[in-house]
A = this chain, B = another copy of it.
């Protein structure tokens, strides 16, 4: 424990082995150390990195955007002010998503509440709120 094979890593993060290699090609994962045989060896922290990528995707970020998020950590080619500016832009993104999600939640909660669970759906109050969110 401390060094994982690509298969162990993939299993731990619940992704396909091919996906791990794909992310490496795309620069989302650093090229890992290799054994004499050429086999990749990953530090166990890579699991959380993969999970981060996965969850970010579920939140509607593209791989390119995720790469940008990851790049906010260590980038010797940009000043701190630049990092700050980019982080703020991502934050704005996130705030927008949060607002939309809360609106969606509100509409659905309303639907679940109004709908007793009995009778045909034709009797269910129609949720126009869902479309008139903005």
Contact residues of A with B, CB < 8 Å? 45, 48-49, 51-52, 55-61, 69-70, 72-76, 78-84, 87-88, 90-91, 94-95, 97-98, 100-102, 104-105, 108-109, 111-112, 115-124, 126-128, 130-134
Q: A80–B130 contact, CB under 8 A? A: no
28 contacts between A and B (CB under 8 A): A48-B132, A48-B134, A51-B133, A52-B131, A55-B134, A58-B60, A58-B100, A59-B101, A59-B104, A72-B108, A72-B127, A74-B126, A75-B121, A76-B120, A79-B121, A80-B119, A80-B124, A81-B118, A82-B121, A83-B124, A84-B111, A84-B112, A87-B108, A87-B112, A87-B115, A94-B101, A94-B105, A95-B105
